[in-house]
Structures are given as C-alpha cells and as structure tokens.
C-alpha cells in the first residue's frame, strides 16, 4: 500500500509539483478497502486436524510408521488415529502474556522418543514446568515402560 501510494504521488509530481506529505491521501483512501478485506479473511489453519484417519492410514501404508510426530499447533496431543499413534509436541518455546516476559503462559512441552528393548521405541508426551529440574510425563494413564529409576532430565540443547 505504501509503495502504491508513493507511486501515485510521484506520478502526479511529474506534472504538478506536490509535497511528499500527499502520500497520506491515497493511503487513507486505501485503508477502508484493506479493513474490509482483513475482516473477511478467516484463517482455516487449525480448523481441520493435521492428521485425519485417512492420512494416518496412508502414512502407515506407505511408510509402515506406527508413530507420527507433528508439531507447530502449540497444543500438545497424544492420541491413536487409525493405525498410528499421533503425537504433537505443542510448543517448546516459553510464551508470555506481556512484552516484559513476566507472566508465563503454559509450560514447555515436547515429544520424547526413547529406546525400548528389542529395537523398539517408547513415545511419550512430556512437559518442562517453569523452574522445574525434571521433565514430567503429560500422559500419566500410560506409564513409562522403562524399568530404570527416573532420573533428572536435562533440557535439549
């Protein structure tokens, strides 16, 4: 919009010398159509789930995968969809309510795939609570299959 307004003012300035401040007139005229367009745009990014049953079946059929990890929805998820276990790590980055970064929103969540005996892996959804020194499992209904005692976990680098 700024480029277009500047281009209009420069074009007029060829025939009739005018002040560069006239650039605000076309900008003001373009503001209403821009506001109408912005009001009509509805995001559908999170309207549909990332992994549908059909997509899960295709992923399993093509790759043989039993576990699928997606991200960037900022909502931690662990659920079985069709033949695969779907995990979404949520958000590892801390979020704050204000620019001064004083009031935290939520916790840092992540997916942890750990080796399990016999060449298999155990997938879990974990969180790193504010000020915590140990990762906590978010899906306690399915306890870890690791028999070793829990140890403090350092955050990934």
> What pLDDT does residue 142 have?
52
CA distance 145 to 45: 35
Alpha carbon distance 77, 89 (integer Å):
7
Report, as an integer, the average pLDDT of 7-19. Answer: 87
| Beta-carbon-side half-sphere exposure of residue 43 (alpha carbons within 13 Å) | 2
Residue ranges covered by each domain of the chain:
2-40, 53-137
- For domain 53-137, give the fold: Purple Acid Phosphatase; chain A, domain 2 (3.60.21)
Residue 98 in this model has a pLDDT that exceeds 50: yes
- Residues 123-128, mean pLDDT to the nearest whole number: 87
CA separation (Å) from 79 to 48, 54, 84, 120, 142?
16, 15, 9, 19, 11
Share of the chain above pLDDT 90, in %: 18
Global pTM?
A: 0.56
Higher-scoring residue by pLDDT: 109, 43: 109
The phi and psi torsions of 46 (rounded to 5 degrees) equal -105, 10
* SS3 at position 149: coil
Structure confidence at residue 137 (pLDDT): 87
pLDDT value at 143 more than 50: no
- Backbone angles phi and psi of 109, in degrees to 5: -115, 155
Q: What is the mean pLDDT of residues 28-35?
A: 89
Residue 20 has pLDDT above 50, yes or no: yes
Residue 42 CA to residue 35 CA, distance in Å, equals: 13
Mean pLDDT, residues 66-75 taken together: 83
């Amino acid at each position: 919009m700024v480029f277009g307004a500047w281009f209009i003012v420069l074009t007029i300035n060829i025939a009739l010398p005018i002040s560069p401040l006239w650039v605000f007139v076309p900008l003001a005229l373009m503001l209403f159509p821009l506001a109408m367009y912005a009001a009509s745009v509805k995001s559908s990014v999170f309207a549909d789930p990332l992994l549908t049953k059909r997509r899960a079946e295709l992923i399993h059929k093509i790759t043989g995968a039993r576990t699928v990890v997606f991200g960037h929805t900022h909502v931690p998820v662990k659920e079985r969809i069709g033949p695969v276990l779907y995990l979404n790590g949520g958000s590892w980055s801390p979020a704050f309510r204000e620019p001064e970064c004083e009031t935290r929103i939520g916790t840092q969540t992540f997916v942890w795939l750990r080796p399990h005996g016999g060449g298999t892996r155990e997938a879990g959804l974990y969180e790193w609570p504010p000020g915590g020194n140990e990762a906590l499992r978010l899906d306690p209904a399915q306890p870890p299959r690791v028999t070793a005692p829990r140890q403090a976990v350092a955050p990934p680098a």
